[in-house]
Chains A and B, each alone.
Chain A
Amino acid sequence: MPSAASAYEAARDAGVLDQLIDKGLLLGAQEVEPDVLGREADGAAYVLEHPRIPFVSYPYEWSFSLHKAAALHHLDLQLELLKHGFALSDATAYNIQFIGSRPVFIDHGSLLPYTDGDIWIGHRQFCMQFLNPLIFWAVFGIPPNHWFRGALEGIAPEDLAPLLSLRHNLSWTVMAHVSAQAALQRRSLRKGTIAGKPSERRLSRTAFQGMLEGLRRYISRLRLKADQTVWGDYAQDNSYAGAEAAAKRAFVSEFAAATKPALLFDLGCNTGDYSFAALQAGAGSVVGFDFDFGALEQAFQRSVEGGSAFLPLWLDAANPSPSQGWAQAERKGLSERTNADAMVALAFIHHIAIGRNVPLEMAVDWLMAIAPAGVIEFPPKSDPMVQKLLAQREDIFASYSEEAFLHHVQARGRLVARKSVSEGGRLLVWYDRRG
């Protein structure tokens, strides 16, 4: 295997990097003097500077469609590389990032010259980080995000195979890439056998290309079960269709136009109504977060159709992604990646203050820490959606009131504007922590 520097030089000098960048497969980059990094350069042969990605996301924060788009992007990149006589040194999903809804590959240092006969080094990793989570999701209708978050390398074939029935194995892809691979791996473990170094194994170019194309065909046909694309707040979402929704859109638009955030977080983005309003009013890009995978599917489709700078991600706000991996520094937690200039949290706070028992003051504190300026909606206890949350439990939330909410906001920043947006008393508050 060539050194990283010589492999990079080979790809650069063959014009492959430029062609991939032009096709949108690879993030743009240019060489800069290593001195710009000072001592951090540490003898590096090359230092590349690339455009800043609005927000770094991880596979366990992706919806099904985002994960599928990332998998297809990886395969498209591999197939394009193969045409030029190059391959990838691995198949980690963390090397795919999203700019809006568009996937892009970010690791310029993982391109290697390909020689006819080279085995696919990243095959197992591709299965664990792309194929198996998608199969698990499509076959069982269960999001693999919790599993993936607990196992950063993804889902091993040996772990997925026992869950699959004979019917699932009627698919050649499932049978071969999951069950057969798992059987061979288990067999090797049992017998203590190894297959040798990857460089000692041979795989013809036709076979390699056929495998990539076969996986591409299979993954492009994967679909969620019909009920998985329906979002839980459909009725609620529709109930906002009137004057209330228009008032909220106007307030968010006014806020975005005044603050012009380069990056705005939309917490509880649902299908993206207010994210799109913020974008139209001047936000540079929006990262939306929601707990409902069905809503995220709709949001992603809308973002793709509009070619928008809107990335909808999965988030359990009461348990956000932690810092984890090697030395707890390999994958950063949400708070360490939070770089928003502004935030909006509409129809959100009651879900954590009442739905998840987080004291109101802590909920306000957490929200306002996300960005220096933002809009938070406060639905009073009499609101039908709050009543719905309280329907099956005792009301132990004596401190949940508009007066307390305003007090907590004003203790942390300036109240720039406020507006009642419903007859039931839903209140929008625009805060600014910078004074």
Chain B
Amino acid sequence: MRRLLPYVFLGLVLVSLDTPAFAYLDGATGSMMVQAIIGSVAAAGVFGRHALAKTKAALVRIFRSPTSGDR
């Protein structure tokens, strides 16, 4: 389910987007819009990886035997 979250997020954003109409279109409009979505997911991924790494480090500290570090 966790792997599906980015796709669900992307779907919700795609159906909710609307911006004012202009006569002329910049060629990178799709890129600029999609960066907001991809960036959010990427940032969440970075945050998640950091959180996971911190959690792992904390667990290692908790469960490591007090004597193991002295050997």
Contact = CB atoms under 8 A, between A and B. Distances in A.
Contacts of B6: 172, 176
B14 A184 contact: yes
Interface in B26-58: 26-43, 45-47
A123 B35 contact: yes
Nearest to B26: A194
B34 to A, nearest CB: 4
A182 interface: yes
B28 A124 contact: yes
Interface size class of B (residues with CB under 8 A): 20 to 34
A120 B36 CA distance: 10
A128 to B, nearest CB: 10
Interface size class of A (residues with CB under 8 A): 35 or more
A120 B39 CA distance: 10
Contacts of A198: 28, 32
B12 interface: no
A172 B6 CA distance: 8
B29 to A, nearest CB: 4
A201 B35 contact: yes
Contacts of B25: 188-189, 192-194
B17 interface: yes
Nearest to A186: B30
Interface of A: 119-121, 123-124, 127, 157-158, 172, 175-177, 180-189, 191-196, 198, 201, 203-204, 206-211, 213-214
Given A193-B21, A193-B29, A194-B25, 18 more contacts: A123-B28, A127-B31, A157-B30, A176-B6, A176-B10, A176-B34, A176-B38, A180-B38, A181-B33, A184-B33, A184-B34, A186-B30, A188-B30, A194-B19, A195-B29, A201-B35, A207-B42, A211-B42
28 contacts: A120-B35, A123-B31, A124-B27, A124-B28, A124-B30, A124-B31, A172-B7, A176-B41, A180-B14, A184-B14, A184-B17, A184-B34, A185-B29, A186-B30, A188-B19, A189-B25, A192-B21, A192-B22, A193-B25, A194-B24, A196-B32, A198-B28, A198-B32, A203-B35, A206-B43, A207-B43, A210-B42, A211-B39
